Amino acid sequence: MNYQDWTEVKIGGGKINNDKNNKEHNENQNKSQNLPGTKLLKKLDEEEFITIEKVKLDDSKLIEKKRIQCKLSQKELATKLNLPFVTIKDLESGKGNNNKSLLSKINKFLDNRLKQI
């Protein structure tokens, strides 16, 4: 190996024990094993709850008012924005999640339509 400019690297260095009868080795291996999903699992305290904020009533009424001024139905608005009909229905009724980017997208679309009228 005189012609190569890199040095040999050894990875690991520990002895590999394939003896299935060695209980001590098997117990240590099971304790340190990463099970699927253990890193993703987040433990919540018993008193901790996550609540998702709903759309404010003012915002939902504003969207409904602009949509009616544009003479669009909920279904037509959803189709133009490539959204499910239920999303628009939930937003206008105040049951939808407060997704600021979605609300701004809808408002921007409706404002542009109002300028054209």
Distance of alpha carbon 72 from alpha carbon 64, whole angstroms: 10
For the domain 57-116, what is the CATH superfamily, name and number?
lambda repressor-like DNA-binding domains (1.10.260.40)
Q: What is the CA radius of gyration of the chain?
A: 30
Average pLDDT (99-110) is: 92
Is the pLDDT reported for residue 46 higher than 70? no
The owner of tokens 């904020």 is 53
- What pTM, to 2 d.p., does this model score? 0.57
> With pLDDT > 90 as the criterion, what percentage of the chain qualifies?
46
Q: Domain segments of the chain: what residues?
A: 57-116
